[in-house]
Amino acid sequence: MFYDTETNDHGLPRDPFKSCVAPRPIGWISTLNADGVANLAPFSYFNAVSGVPPHVMFSPGGAGPEGVGKHSLLNVQATGEFVANVVSLALAEKMVRTSAEAAAGVDEFDLAGLTKAPSVLVKPPRVAEAPIHLECRHWKTIEMPQAGGVPCHLVIGRVVGVHIADEVIDDDGYVDVLRFQPVARLGYRQYTAVERVFEMKLPVPQIRRS
């Protein structure tokens, strides 16, 4: 099948786009508002975008419950900091609870029964139960094209600090994802977790001799 995204005439029961770009890692973004109240929300439009220096991005779409923007976006714009927490399979249910459109000033850590852990280089707290945390300072926000008046932004932050739980590092010093099984988003209401890994050797560069 083929469909034009301008008309979205796919003829299927639901838009298939998110199932076509899957799995997508989940950035569980913790921020503080200008009054110091914590916010926690998951974003499936999330990924690392560079390694040296390391940067990550998350993309909040929609106007939020007050119609002025997602709280995570507003908080980063106000304070310039956020933490990207990794969602393990054990935390999947609590992560979903924090996706609710809560009113401004509601602390999703409390809503989901999660523990705050202090960060080292930034002010927003970390999810203590998460196996990995990336402390970030805001670098740039890009306003994406709108469709139907729905705002969308791309928030990019420089990773200034990394926390890795000792128990997910194996005896050889490698992060073992099977020890925490990171959760990713698929299409519709579907999720997945890493349950199998395999290695592949990269091809040796072929040097053409003249």
Residue 6 located in a structural domain: no
- Six-digit token string for 180: 């925490």
Residue 67 located in a structural domain: yes
Cβ-based neighbour number of residue 180 at 10 Å: 22
The stretches of the chain forming alpha helices (DSSP H) are 17-20, 71-79, 92-97, 108-112
pLDDT digits (tens, 9 = 90+) for 170-195: 999 999 999 999 999 999 999 999 99
Residue 52 located in a structural domain: yes
Whether residue 149 is predicted with pLDDT greater than 80 in this model: the reply is: no
pLDDT digits (tens, 9 = 90+) for 99-120: 988 888 889 999 999 999 999 9
Average pLDDT, integer, range 139-151:
87
Residue 159 located in a structural domain: yes
Q: What pLDDT is recorded for position 102?
A: 86
Nearest to 20 by CA among 161, 188, 182: 188
Q: What pLDDT is recorded for position 66?
A: 64
How many folded domains does the chain comprise?
1
Residue 152 located in a structural domain: yes
- Cβ atoms of residues 57 and 140 within 8 Å: no
Residue 199 located in a structural domain: no
Residue 9 located in a structural domain: no
Q: What pLDDT is recorded for position 65?
A: 64
pLDDT digits (tens, 9 = 90+) for 7-52: 999 999 999 999 999 999 999 999 999 999 999 999 999 999 999 9
Surface-to-core class of residue 131, CB atoms within 10 Å of its CB (0-12 exposed, 13-18 middle, 19+ buried): buried
Q: What pLDDT is recorded for position 18?
A: 94
Dihedrals phi, psi of 178, to nearest 5 degrees: -70, -15
Domain encompassing residue 79: 17-193
Higher pLDDT, 62 or 203: 203
Residue 91 located in a structural domain: yes
Kindly report the CATH number assigned to the domain that includes residue 147: 2.30.110.10
